[in-house]
Structures are given as structure tokens and as C-alpha cells.
Amino acid sequence: MSHSTHRGNWDGRWYRVHTEHFKAAFLPSPDEGLESVDNVDVFVELEDGSRWSATLITLAQVEAIMARWVESGEALGGRYFWSSDGLIVRDAGISSMTEVLVGLAENGELTQALRRLND
């Protein structure tokens, strides 16, 4: 897996990152630091023009959500968690999440882990 730093730039509410494998557009909360992002939607465009999406969420954030649901009663009192396009990652931050996406691309698994968007 490549360990280079992928710099991005803001485009309105989107934080865009370009790598040798894809372009990614992250949608972090406006008040959240980029390296503390632990739950974010991302849209990925591959070189062939295909577009893919996922919600990247840390394991710690999943645990926190499930703990809240114990109290609220959602999801059978926090007994399960599911997301139709969720990808659980260990570490928070746009740079770490980008590295996961790069690793998936380099391993040929990106299109298996993300959901394809219709053009």
C-alpha cells in the first residue's frame, strides 16, 4: 500500500482529494477537523469514469452509536449496526481514510467495498 500523503482542497462543502487511482470527494461536518473525522460520506470517481460511494466510519464511532442506542432503544437496544454502504475503518481522519481507499484500489478491492452509483 502506498504511504504517501494525499493533499486535498476545499470546494465549497466538499473536501476533494486526488490520487493516482481516483478522485475522492468527502463531505465532513463544517465544524469538524479533517484529521478527527470519524463518520463521513465519500464519493469516488475512478479513471474509467465510474462513480462509487461509501460512508466511512470508525470502529470507535460504531461502538459509540451502539452505546447510545442501548439508551434510546434503537436497533433493538444497540444490539446491531448496519449501513447499506458502510465501510468500517480503524483510524479517524481524511488522510487515513484516503490511505484505506488507496489500499483498496491497489488491491483491486475498491469496487467490491464501495457501492456503484448509476450515471
Indicate whether 12 belongs to any domain: yes
Q: Is the pLDDT of residue 4 over 70?
A: no
Evaluate whether residue 66 is within a structural domain. Answer: no
78 lies in some domain:
no
Residue 93 is assigned to a structural domain of this protein: yes
Report residue 1's pLDDT band, with 50, 70 and 90 as the boundaries: very low
Q: Is 64 within the bounds of a domain? A: no
Which among 52, 62, 50, 58 is positioned nearest to 25, based on CA atoms?
52
Name the H helices within 1-119: 59-72, 74-78, 94-106, 110-113
Q: Is residue 92 part of a domain?
A: yes
Full residue range of the structural domain in which residue 29 is found: 8-57+85-117
Domain tally for the chain? 1
pLDDT digits (tens, 9 = 90+) for 66-108: 999 999 999 999 999 999 999 999 999 999 999 999 999 999 9
In a domain, 71, yes or no: no
Q: Does the predicted model carry a pTM greater than 0.85?
A: yes
Helix (H) or strand (E) holding 53: strand 51-58
Residue 56 confidence (pLDDT) above 80: yes
The pLDDT, as a whole number, for residue 5 is: 58
In a domain, 32, yes or no: yes
